[in-house]
Structure 1
Amino acid sequence: MNQKIKELSRWMKDQGIDLALLTSPANILYLTRFHCDPHERLLALFVPAEEEPFLICPLLEVQRAKEAGWKGEVLGYGDAEDPWDRIRERWNRAAGTIAVEKEHLTFGRAERLLALNPDATLVSVEEKMYELRAIKDEEEIRRLAKAARLADYGVEIGIDALREGCTEIEIVAEIEYELKKKGVQGMSFSTTVLFGENTALPHGTPGSRKLSPGDLVLFDLGVIVDGYCSDITRTVAYRQIDDQCRQIYETVLRAQQAALGRCSPGIPISEVDQAARKVITAAGYGDRFPHRVGHGLGLEVHEFPSMSASNDQTLREGMTFTVEPGIYIPGKGGVRIEDDVVITRDGCEILTKFPKELRVVE
C-alpha cells in the first residue's frame, strides 16, 4: 500500500468509514499512478479501511495498470461481462459507511453500489482528496516544472509563427504540432490563440480571424507531462500597439506582480485575488476583470484550491496554482498574463518563465 493510500486509510479509520470508492480518473491516477480514460466502462478503486485496496478496470487495460506501477490487486472484466459481478465476488461483506466522490459517481453506479451494501450510508471523500492533492511532493513539482517549461516553449512557437494574414486556428495547429514533436502527452486543455477584438473574450474560441497590424494576440495553453498539467497565458501586440492597450497591459502586469507578492505560506487565498483586483480597480477597470485570479493546478488543469476573493483558506507549502489577472474591453481587446506558481517554505517559485514585458512582434 503506497503512502497516499495509507493517508486516505488513516482518515477513513478516524472518520469511521468502512470503504472508499474512487471512480474519477484523476483521483485514481493520484492514488495508483495508473491513468486511463475508460469512456463508458467502469474504472474504480476500492479502498477498504482494514484491507488491501483493489482496482477494477476493463480487461484490455489490466496490463497497463500493472506497468504503470500499481502493485495491488487488479480485477479485469470483458466487454460482455458485468463488472459489478466481479466486484460482488471480491467484496462480499457489509460496509456501514462508504465514502464516494459525490460530484463524479453517477446515480446508476451509486444504485449498484448500494445494491451490494443495502444498509450503507454514503458520505463524501472529495474534500479529503482535495486536501491530499493540494500539497504536492517533490516529484509532483518536478513534473509540473517540466510541463511549465514546455508551456513556455509553446508560447515561443506561437509568437514565432505570427505573420500578417494568418488565422488563429493556424497558429493553434503550429503550436500543437511542434509540441507533439517534443513528445508531450497531450494538451491540458484546448489551446487558445485569439487576435484583436477576440482577445476580449476570456474563454474565446480560435477561428478564422486573420492577423492584422495593431492586433493584440493572446496565447493560453498548457501541456500534460507524466499526468501533470501546465497553464500559461501571454499577450503580445503585433507590429504596433495603441495607448489604451499599452495602459491595459501595464495595469495587468502590475496586478499580477501584486498578486504574486502575496503568494507565501500562511496568507489567505482571498488576499492574492484582492491584491490583483485592487490594482485593476484603481486603474478604472474593476468591472473588466470578471473572473477569479487563478485556480489550483496539478493532475487536472482546474483543481483545488480556487484562487477567489471569497476563499479564506491559507496558502501552504507545496500548493500549486495559477495567477492570471486580466482586463477585457468588448470590441477592443483584452490582456491576460498567467503563470504557474508553487508555494515554497518562505515564498513562492514561478514555474513558467516566459518573459512578461510588453512585446511588440514585428
Structure 2
Amino acid sequence: MHSSDGTVPEAELKDRMGRFRARMDADNPDWELAVFFGKINLYYFTGTMQDGMLLVPRDDEAVFRVRRSYERACDESLFPCIRPMGSFRDAAGDLGHPFGTVHLETELVPLALLQRFRKHFPFDHTQSLDRQAAKVRAVKSAYELGCMERAGEVHRRVLEERVPGLLREGMTEMAFITALYDVMVEEGHQGIVRFGGFGTEMAVGQVGFGESSIYPTCFDGPGGSYGLSPAVPLLGSRERRLKRGDLVFVDVGCGVAGYHTDKTMTYMFGAPLPDEAVLAHRRCVEVQHRTAAMLRPGAVPSAIYDAVMGDLEPAFRENFMGFGARQAKFLGHGIGLQVDEMPVIARGFDDPLEENMVFAVEPKKGIRGVGMVGTENTFVVTPAGGRCITGDHPGLMPVW
C-alpha cells in the first residue's frame, strides 16, 4: 500500500460513520438515504479523496462508488465497501427501491449533478445533511488532533523562527510570499489550504506590507491584501516593496495530512510602529487570551462572543475585526479538514462546545496608515480552557 502521509485507521472510519448515523437518527428520525459527493466529506468518511459518491442507506451498509480512481481508492482506503463506477447507471442497483427523501450536501452539490443522479436514483425530495456532517467533523479524534498538532508545530517554526530571515528591504510582497511558501513546504506543509466557503480561493493566505493588510477583499475575515490584479486578488503585489518602518502581516493556514491550523503573526521591520498600533496590538492579544480561556466544554459560542465584545471599549471596537465598514462579525472559527469549519465564535451559534473541538481565535484591528495588527492562534477545547497548538509568541516581532 502506498501512503506517504499515512492511512486513516479502519477504527477511525468506523467511528466517524457511526457518529454520523447517530446524528442523523437524532436530527432526522425518518431519514432514508444520505449521499456524499464532496471530496472533503468523502475523505473524512472513506480515507481517500477520489471522484465518486458515498451512499449511506439508513438500514444497510454504506457503499463508496468510485469513478476515478478505483485502484487508488482500494490502495489508500480501509473503508469496508468500495466498488467501481463508470456512471450512476452502474451504481443504481446498489439500492433496492426509490426513496421519498434523500439527504445531500446542499451547500455543495450543483443542480446539474443532482439531476444526473436523480435519473438513476429516483426520489421525491432533498434535504440537507451539511449541518449533521459539520457537527460530526467538529469534534476531533486523537488521530485528527495528532495531525493538527503536527501542522501547528510546522506553523510555529515557520512564523516564529523562519520568517524573520526571509524579510529584506526592497523585496516585493510577491517575492516574500513565494519565499514563505517554499519554506512552509520545506518544513512540512502539505502545499494547499482548503476552505468550505462557496467560491473561496486562497493560494497561501493573506500577506501584506503596511496598508496592504487593510485593503478591502471579498474574503470574510478581518485582514486584507492588494493581490496581483482584479482577476487574481490573491497572493501579493509585484509593486509594493518592503521598507523600513513597515508592519508585515502574515495570516496563513498550514496543513499536514489534510488537517489545518490557522495562525497570524505580525512583524515590525526596521523600526518600531507608532504607539497607537502597539497598544492596539497588545489589547488584541489580551482579547485572544480571554477568548481562549473560555473554550471549555459546555460553553456557548454566542455567549463567548457577546461577553468578550461587550467588554471592549467603544473606541477600541472601531476598526476591530476589520477596517472601516469591513468588519468581520466573529472572533474565531472552527478548523480541521477546512480552515473555515463550524462552529463559529459568533452570534447565532448556540450549541454548547464539546471537548476536542478546535478553534482559530483571531482578534485583529486595522490602524489607518499602518495596517492590521492583532494575532491568531489555534486552540483545542479542553476542561481547562483552550490549549494552543501553534505557539505562544505575542506578535509584533521586531526584525531589525
Which of 358, 368, 378 is residue 320 of structure 1 equivalent to? Answer: 358
Which of 345, 357, 372 is residue 307 of structure 1 equivalent to? Answer: 345
1:288–1:329 Cα contact (<8 Å) kept: no
SS in 2 for 1:334: strand
- Report what 1:194 is aligned to: 208
Task: Tell me the TM-score normalized by structure 2.
Answer: 0.82
Aligned pairs for 1:23-62 (under 5 A) are: 23-36=37-50, 38=51, 43-59=52-68, 61-62=69-70
Letter in 2 for 1:254: E
Cα deviation for residue 177 of structure 1 reads 1.0
SS in 1 for 2:66: strand
- Report what 2:78 is aligned to: 70
C-alpha separation between the residues in 1 aligned to 2:307 and 2:178?
36
2:267–2:395 Cα contact (<8 Å) kept: no
Which of 146, 154, 159 is residue 164 of structure 2 equivalent to? Answer: 159
Letter in 2 for 1:62: Y
Aligned pairs for 1:83-98 (under 5 A) are: 83-98=87-102
Q: CA RMSD in A?
A: 2.1
Deviations 1:185-241 (A, max 9, x none): 223243232111112231313213111111111111122211101110011211222
1:12–1:18 Cα contact (<8 Å) kept: no
Letter in 2 for 1:314: P
Matched, 1:207 2:241: no
- Report what 1:142 is aligned to: 146
1:17–1:96 Cα contact (<8 Å) kept: no
Segments of 5+ residues of structure 1 without an aligned counterpart are none
Cα deviation for residue 166 of structure 1 reads 1.1
C-alpha separation between the residues in 2 aligned to 1:10 and 1:313?
17
Choose 123-132 or 109-118, whichever is displaced more: 109-118
1:280–1:286 Cα contact (<8 Å) kept: no
SS in 2 for 1:352: coil
2:34–2:129 Cα contact (<8 Å) kept: yes
Q: How many residues align?
A: 352
1:21–1:100 Cα contact (<8 Å) kept: yes
Which of 129, 140, 149 is residue 125 of structure 1 equivalent to? Answer: 129
2:335–2:359 Cα contact (<8 Å) kept: yes
- Report what 2:219 is aligned to: none
C-alpha separation between the residues in 2 aligned to 1:259 and 1:282?
18
C-alpha separation between the residues in 2 aligned to 1:214 and 1:275?
35
1:157–1:174 Cα contact (<8 Å) kept: no
C-alpha separation between the residues in 2 aligned to 1:275 and 1:330?
27
Cα deviation for residue 28 of structure 1 reads 1.1
Q: Percent identity?
A: 24
Cα deviation for residue 92 of structure 1 reads 4.2
SS in 1 for 2:178: helix
Cα deviation for residue 58 of structure 1 reads 2.5
SS in 2 for 1:230: strand
Q: Pick closer, same or farther for the CA change 1:275–1:216 going to 2, 3 Å.
A: farther
Deviations 1:142-175 (A, max 9, x none): 1111111111122132222111111111111112
Segments of 5+ residues of structure 2 without an aligned counterpart are 1-12, 194-201, 216-222, 228-235, 322-326
